[in-house]
Every structure is written in C-alpha cells, then in structure tokens.
Chains A and B, each alone.
Chain A
Amino acid sequence: MNTFMPTRRDMLAQLGFGMLGTTCARWLPAFAANVAASPLRKGQCILLWMSGGPSQMDTFDMKPGHANGGEFKEVQTKAPGLRFSEHMPKLAALADKLAVVRSLSTKEGDHERGTHLVRTGHPPQGEVAYPSIACTLSKELEMHAATLLPSYVSVAPVLQISPTSFGPGFLGPRYAPAIVGQQALGPQAQPPRNNGGFAELKLDDLELSPGVSELQASRRMKLWTAMEKKYLTAGAQPSFEAHNALYRKAAGMMRPAVRSAFDLTEEKDDVRKKYGPGLFGQGCLLARRLIERGVPFVEVALGGGLGWDTHVDNFRGVKRLSEELDAGWASLMMELDERGLLESTTILWVGEFGRTPQINQNTGRDHFPAAWTCVFGGGGIAGGQAYGRTSADGMAVEENQVAIGDVLSTLSTALGVPPTRENNTSSGRPIKVAEGAPISAILS
C-alpha cells in the first residue's frame, strides 16, 4: 500500500481557496508519477470516432483481387500476416500495438440509429435515456484519476446527428463531456484556423469571460472566498460544502497552469505539423496533452460532418481521410509510447457502421452494418492481430462474429472497469456499463 498517495480530495483541499497562484504547477508532475505507480489506478481511454461510417474495405479489411476490393493497394504491416491499406503507412508501422476486429455485425444502417447503438450499446428506443459509453466509462475512471481537468473531453464532435448519443443520458449533465471545437454539419463548415494554419481548439467557459481582467478575477475570488468562509462557518449543511468544493475545483481548473493543457501553442510547430493541421490532428495532439495530465477519457472525432459517408467518390474521400487519420493517430500512439503512457491508455477506433462491399454507380459505398471493422490499440490490448474474418466478397462474417455490446465490454475490461458494473436510472432500474462478453482473444 502506497501511503504517500494523496487522494483526489486531499489534493483539492491543498489547492485551498486561492485561484490565481501557480504554486501547485510544480508538484503536479510528481503527484502524477505517484498516481501512475499505484495499483489502484485504472486505465485512460481515447475514443477515435469516425463520423459517417468508415469503409472497412479500404482501410483495415481489404479484399484485393475481388471485384469489391476497390482501387487501393494492401500493404504488409509490422505485424506478420496483418495487412492495411497503403494510405496508412505510419499506422502499419505500429500494427504490433493494434488489434483489428473484422467481424463486427450490427443491425442499424441509419446514421442516427447507428450512432446511438454504437455509442450507447442500445438501439434508440424505450424510456431509458442511455448515456454514451464515454460518459459511463469516464464516470468510473474519474474516481481513480488525479486531474483538475474535466473527466471527459470531446474534441470536434458532430452532435447534430444524434445529440443524445453524445450525452450523459440518465447520469445527468454532471457527466457530460467538456466539448472542444464542436463541428457544424455540412461541407461548408470549416473549422477556424489560427495564423499558423492550425485548427483552433478552445474549451468553453474555462477562460475568464471576455472583458474580465486578471486583476478582476483575483478580486472576485477574494470577495467570494470571504463570503464563503463566513457562510460555511455559520451553516453546516453537507450540500453547502458540496457547492463550495465544486467551485474550488472549477477555480483550480482555471489556473493558468492547469488550463494551459488546452494551449497547443506550447507545442513546437514541427510537432503540431506532424499530427496534421486539421481538427483531427490537433485534437490528437490535445489528447496526448490531456492524457499526460491524467484526464481519464478523451474523444477525437474525424470526419468533418459526416466525412466518412462516402456514397459518392469513395476512394478520393477515403484516401484523404486515411492520410489525416494516419498522421494524427500514429503520432498520438508514438508520443504516448515515448512517455510510457501507451501501455495504460486504451484506444478504440470506430464509427456508426461500415460500408457496402459493392461499389455503387457513383464510385461510392453505402451504409453497411452486417459485417464491419473496429480497431483497438494500446493498454490492455494484445496487438498485432486481426480477430474474426469476413467472406472473400466482404458481405458476411465468417468467423467470430461480435456484437456492439462485446466491443464496448472489451473496451471497459481493457480499462479495468468490469462491464457488469451498474448505474441506476431515476426510476431505480439498474443499467450495466456494457452488455455482452469481452473478446478475451484481444485482451492482454
């Protein structure tokens, strides 16, 4: 038992009432190291969400030589026998850390319903407002996390498709994601770029509101602290303490030393370029910074609206997205690995469904939930393998078919959260983290 490990509560108490001092910045890294060594520690998670439904046939489950195969070449990866598309060379070099699940089969072929199914584990029906798996898992992981930052940061989500699938459902807004760089729907929606040409990412409400100076901020906290001290001494309601503690935590999050986690200008330009200048690349870089600082759950979306929805001109679209994916994801894995964090960070790459093996008359591929692919990587995952198999034409699962519940259970298990853990709805109905069986073959 490590008696030097401070609890989250101790840590917050040490922060005291002050807001603008930066003294805690120096002991934060030491604290993080302590936490990393603790056996109680759970994993951290990165969800790479592929909005629109990525084509498995042109990425991780290629069918070269078949009429359905398309125009991309397949190349050998670092893992023997595992082959990816030619447009993801950096990920191919990391394939020993990736487990490709090629036998996912679901029943929802509509963007809204598919998004709901994959993100919550349940089809959209019934009176239960199911939380997104990200909210559920971040709730479990935050109990063991040591960070002043939000427990779930979501970068560049497209919420319009199925707003409820991105939210905390019956868990309540307490477990809602902190959203950075929300995307609008449609091709005309360009993310803002700064003068270096990089996508801008900003967390709402973490900065002082416009027009409020640092001097004012310190005056506000001084007055607030005095009011609070008096009021909390006079009354002894636990709910008052809860309110006060929450504000102190939020004030802690606003400290320059803490909120600078979101300041990507602290990174060198060549690092920023390596990840790719777009929302996804910069989001992956932000994910690395947040994982370094102990944030339990980070999600980064790729697809600019429904970018992976390649009904038309599939190959041009997938090539471009693959390159963006390759730069961001591979850089993220490499840099986490260099820092010793990849072994405790589980990554899941998934969209709402796959795409038809047949190529349509517009050189596109349509929605296809019957046989598709997701990819796991990093902590708790036995990499370098493909699990399950589709038929030669890609139309059906031939071996080891898995359902979405199995995928979410696998993620949960890899993170050290038993998928059978339950939360109760307001009517007292228990809901499991995930239904289904973990895929033990890809767990390490």
Chain B
Amino acid sequence: MRSFSYFQAVLQTGAPVLLALALTGGAANAADGKPSSGEMTEHVDQLLAERWATEKIEPTATSSDTEFLRRASLDFIGVIPRAAEVRQFLADKDPAKRKKLIDRLLASPRYATHMATTWRNRIIPQEPDPSRAREAAALQKWLRTRFAKNLRYDNLVGGLLLTNGGDEIGPALYFQTHDVAPEKMAASAAELFLGVKLQCAQCHDHPFADWSQRDFWSFAAFFARVKTPQNRGMQMVAYRLVDSDIGEVHLPNSEETVPPKYPRGKSAADGDGTSRRTQLVFWLTSRDNHYFSRAAVNWAWSHLFGRPLVASLDNIDHGAPPANVKLLDELAEYFVHSGFDLQSLWRVLANTQAYQLKVSAEGDAQRDPDLFASMLAKPLTPEQLYDSFLLLAPEANAGNAAMTGPIGQPASSLDGDPLRIEFARRMRPPPGEATEYRAGTLQALMLMNGKTVSGVTAPDTSSLLGALEAPFMTDAQRVESLFLATLARTPDEGERKLFRETLAECKSSDDHQRALSDMFWALLNSTEFAFNH
C-alpha cells in the first residue's frame, strides 16, 4: 500500500522514483520493444509525409544551418546563439550536427532556466504581484531544479499539486494566486494538465463539449479540502497548505453538495486516509489518463511549432483533423512509455523533418497550418528578448546584485532578477496565438529608446562593441560579427555593402564607434531579430 507521506517524499526527492514505480509495477524500459526516440522521429516524419502526399502539399525547403541553430537555441535554452557558436556550427562538417546540437542544448543549464520561465508563465499567467516577488523567484527555482534533472513529468505535476507550502513557497504560489479556491484551482489544473477548458462549465454546461456543470464542480471538489491555517497572533508563519477532513463544494445558487468524481470516470471516496488531493494526483498522472499525456504532448508540440497539434482537447473527436489526433495519440503513448521523459519527447520532436523546415516565403502557396508543412515564426517572448540582450551585454546588468555569478553561468541568478521581471511586465503581449505579434507602441518605444537596449548598444558600455574596436579587425569582419551575434547569420552582399559604406563614411574614430553602435541598434530592432523563425 502506498502511504500518502511516502508518495510525497518520493515526489519531493525525485531520486527514488524508479524504486517507487518498480514497487507499484509501472515504468517501461528499453527492453520491452518500445520505439527509441530515433525510431519515433522517423514514425512522425512518415505520418506527416503521408499527410502531405494525400493533400498534395509540398513542404518548404529545409532550413539553413544558421536558421536551425537560432531556432533550436531560442526554443530550448531561450537565448540566441553567440557569434562564436554560429561560426563553430557553420564549420562543423558532421552530418549529425543538428542532432548533436539538440543534445547539447538539452544538457545546458539554460535549458532548465528557459523551461522554468516557460512553465512559471503557464502556471501563473498574470504577472506576479510585486509583493510576491520572493515566491515567484522561489517557484522559478523550484521548477528549474526539476527541469535540470529531467524529473519525470508526472512527478513534476504531482509535486506541484501536492505541495504543503511552508518552505516550498514557490509551488505554494500556484495555490496562493488562485486564492486556494476549489473552482479556480480546478479550472487551472484542468486546462494545464488535462488540456480541457472546464471553466465555462463552472457556470453552465459546456457549450461545445459534453462537460456538464456538475462535472466541473465534481472536479473542483478534489480541491475543496485544501486549507491555509491562519497565522497565530503576530508571529509570522510561512504560508502552509494542509489537507483538512472537511470542506465541500456546492453547485452555484444551490445548497447541494457535489462529491468528488474523476472527469468521465468514477466517484472518489473519502475515508481511507488518503486526501482528496492525493487521490486526484494518482488519477491525474496515471498512465491510463490519456488527457494527461495528450495535454503534455500537445503543449510540447506547440512550444516548438507555434501551434498545437489539436486546437483543443475539450472535444477532440469533433473538428480536429483525425490525422493530427492520431499523431497526438501516438506521441502521447510514446511519452507514457518513456516514463514521462520530457527530454526524450523533445528529442523526438526536434529531430523531425517538420522541425527543420523553413518559414514559408513570399510566393508560397497558402498552406493549411495544421499540416505543419512549413515552420511558423514566433515572436520572441519578453524573457527570450531580455536573456538574449543580457547574453550580448552581461555588464548592462552589472548594477544588479542578483547578477554576480560568473559570465556564462547566469542560469540561477535569473530566477529573481528584478530587471528581468520589470522588463517582462512591461513587454508581455496580451493573450492570443503564439505566432501573432501583439505589442503596442509603448513596447516599441521601450525597445528603441529604453534603458535595456540603450545599455546593450552604448559604445562605452557594450563589451561586444568594445571587442569590435580591436585594431586588427577589418570593417568587413566587424560587420560580420554584428550579424552573427544578433541574427546568427552572415550578412548578404547588399547588407555587407551598405554597412561597410556606412562605416567608411565616418570621419572620426568616435563616429566610427557610434556607427557600430547604430548598426547594432538597427539589427536588434529589426523584425528579423524580433522573431524566432
């Protein structure tokens, strides 16, 4: 028998997980004939190729090495590549260099940082209240340490939902920002971990799917007994979450108590000493819960491709392209059998032919985006912008006490960087499609004239510009370095000519220095820089 406390201990340490699963008869292993990530990649390629053939669609060409390097870097480690990395990658003759790049990126400490940022924004979509900056930084750290050791996805989710607060102020923030209200927790957990937008059903039966209002409240009932004990007297006590024996939910405008029941499943019973929350996590993260694995895979796909395989899991059998549903299900099955191994899933997806494709260009026939026969360009997120700026000019943030780690190892110090939080708060686009550009003029002005970009491009503070002043460099090399550092590509003939002429026109070394700064500015503010393509 699994005891509650044992299960919790397992979730929190992460390490004895395999033991726990062995005891309960779970995990798959390589010997049972399941496909390797390479075989799964080939299978995905095959399914998509069949689809393109049926639809008589020609996919776009394969992306260039520099396009792929910049794309994969932004997707997996949240920053653009450095100029030196671009040069190395271009010079590398190994045919497997793209595959090796993915492995390298997944092993980088920045991978964990980027995933933590991404998940923190998913878990708490509104910007955290400044008064909860400490909790937000703790949540970022809590997530980062788990992504760094590639903790099983089911254990990651279980650990989040079963937190008792106290020292774990990070994951407790998830409950705190939802006011520990059963209906808010239910709506959020259903959307994040089941891929189902249940909150419409909070007030009425779901308009498009057969989720009833009662389904919503029976799901919410699992969170009804999570309580926050009041602080005693004036003593400051850490925010704690405990599972009480009492607490129920009621249908709106009704006295009727709704007992806990798994969505489309059986009722849960109180009384065997297992809290409702624990019962929910056992059901939610179980290998047989297709919603859980589908939602994870659908999110992972959209993280790389800019749109999910299936728009909504609410009503998957009506409206979604059947081929995409099949692909989703096979990937979900792979994910379950891999032991909810997120890195293994990334390897499958990032090595597919579809992930190598170019963004469609002018003159291409309009493609149905659900065919994934071309890459969709995604605007850089505020954190991708900020982290990339910081990579270009680490000293621009020198005044920030949180940034004292050695250069190249800024992963942990980004957790609570107040400048990063402030930048993201002012740059965050309104909700919408991941591929849409939705900023306003204030955001554009901030990038054109604001402190962050000015700090990066000022001749006297920019280390990159300082390096370009070295006397042994030619103007052609300077221009090339600027392009590599920002757009991760070499300039074309027209660009070389324009930029070199601009430098040649300079009448003083001071103006020459300023001209380099202007070029840097123009590149950082270009549309090409603003997107991951």
Contact = CB atoms under 8 A, between A and B. Distances in A.
Interface of A: 127, 129, 150, 163-164, 170-176, 178, 204-213, 216, 219-220, 222-224, 226-228, 230-237, 239-240, 242-244, 246-247, 249-251, 253-254, 425-429
Contacts of A233: 362
B431 A242 contact: no
B321 interface: no
Contact of B436 (A170, A227, A242): A242
Contacts of A206: 445, 449
B178 interface: yes
B283 interface: no
A155 to B, nearest CB: 15
Interface in B210-241: none
B435 interface: yes
A233 B361 CA distance: 9
Given A127-B178, A243-B531, A219 B448 contact: no
Contact of A172 (B362, B438, B448, B522): B438
Contacts of B518: 216, 219-220, 223
Residue of A174, A212, A250, A425 most packed against chain B (CB within 10 A): A250
B441 A250 contact: yes
B430 A174 contact: yes
Residue of B445, B530, B533 most packed against chain A (CB within 10 A): B445
A228 B437 CA distance: 16
Nearest to A211: B458
B338 interface: no
B525 to A, nearest CB: 6
A173 B533 CA distance: 24
B439 interface: yes
Contacts of B184: 127
B449 A209 contact: yes
A240 B517 contact: no
Contact of B449 (A178, A205, A222, A244): A205
B526 A242 contact: no
B526 to A, nearest CB: 5
Contacts of A250: 441, 444-445, 448
B528 A231 contact: yes
B502 A428 contact: no
B200 interface: yes
B48 interface: no
Interface residues of B, number: 67
Interface in B260-306: none
B522 A246 contact: no
B308 to A, nearest CB: 16
B149 interface: no
Nearest to B494: A230
Nearest to A429: B199
A322 B398 CA distance: 46
Interface in B378-436: 379, 425-431, 435-436
5 contacts: A164-B129, A175-B430, A242-B438, A253-B441, A254-B449
Given A172-B429, A219-B518, A232-B527, 16 more contacts: A150-B441, A173-B425, A174-B439, A174-B440, A176-B442, A178-B442, A205-B448, A211-B458, A223-B499, A223-B518, A223-B522, A224-B521, A224-B525, A239-B435, A243-B379, A247-B444
Contact of B430 (A172, A220, A240): A172
A240 B437 CA distance: 8
Residue of A216, A227, A230 most packed against chain B (CB within 10 A): A227
Across the A-B interface, give the 3 residue pairs with the lowest CB-CB distance, nearest first: A172-B430, A426-B431, A174-B440
Residue of A171, A175, A224, A230 most packed against chain B (CB within 10 A): A224
Nearest to A169: B126
Interface string B110-135: 00000000000000011001100000
A163 B128 CA distance: 12
B361 to A, nearest CB: 6
A224 B457 CA distance: 15
Contacts of A174: 429-430, 438-440, 442-443
Contacts of B191: 427
Nearest to A176: B442
A348 to B, nearest CB: 24
B71 to A, nearest CB: 14
Contacts of B179: 127
A244 B526 CA distance: 8
Contacts of B502: 219, 222-223
A240 B362 CA distance: 12
A32 to B, nearest CB: 19
A150 B441 CA distance: 7
A239 B450 contact: no
Given A204-B450, A209-B450, A223-B518, A231 B445 contact: no
Given A205-B449, A206-B449, A173 B362 contact: no
Contacts of A243: 379, 437, 439, 527, 530-531
A4 B426 CA distance: 38
Nearest to A19: B448
A265 to B, nearest CB: 21
B200 to A, nearest CB: 7
B360 interface: yes
A236 B60 CA distance: 14
A216 B514 contact: yes
Nearest to B443: A173
Contacts of A213: 514
B148 interface: no
A173 B424 CA distance: 10
B449 A173 contact: no
B359 interface: yes
A208 B526 contact: no
B249 interface: no
A219 B359 CA distance: 30
Contacts of B427: 173
B519 A223 contact: yes
A148 B531 CA distance: 25
B18 interface: no
B450 A234 contact: no
B495 interface: yes
Contacts of B430: 170-175
Contacts of A176: 426, 440, 442
B242 to A, nearest CB: 23
B377 interface: yes
Given A173-B428, A209-B450, A428 B197 contact: yes
Contacts of A427: 187, 191, 197, 199
A76 to B, nearest CB: 46
Residue of A150, A208, A223, A244 most packed against chain B (CB within 10 A): A223
A250 to B, nearest CB: 4
Interface in B327-383: 359-364, 377, 379
B20 interface: no
Nearest to B444: A250
Nearest to A249: B441
Contact of A227 (B363, B379, B448, B495): B495
Interface string B495-533: 100110010000000000011011101110111101101
Given A176-B442, A235-B362, A247 B379 contact: no
Contacts of A228: 526-527
B454 interface: yes
Nearest to A424: B431
B168 to A, nearest CB: 22
B435 to A, nearest CB: 6
A205 B361 contact: no
Contact of B444 (A234, A237, A249): A249
B446 interface: yes
B361 A234 contact: yes
Contact of A231 (B197, B517, B526): B526
A236 B527 CA distance: 12
Nearest to A203: B445
Contacts of A231: 526-528
B385 to A, nearest CB: 12
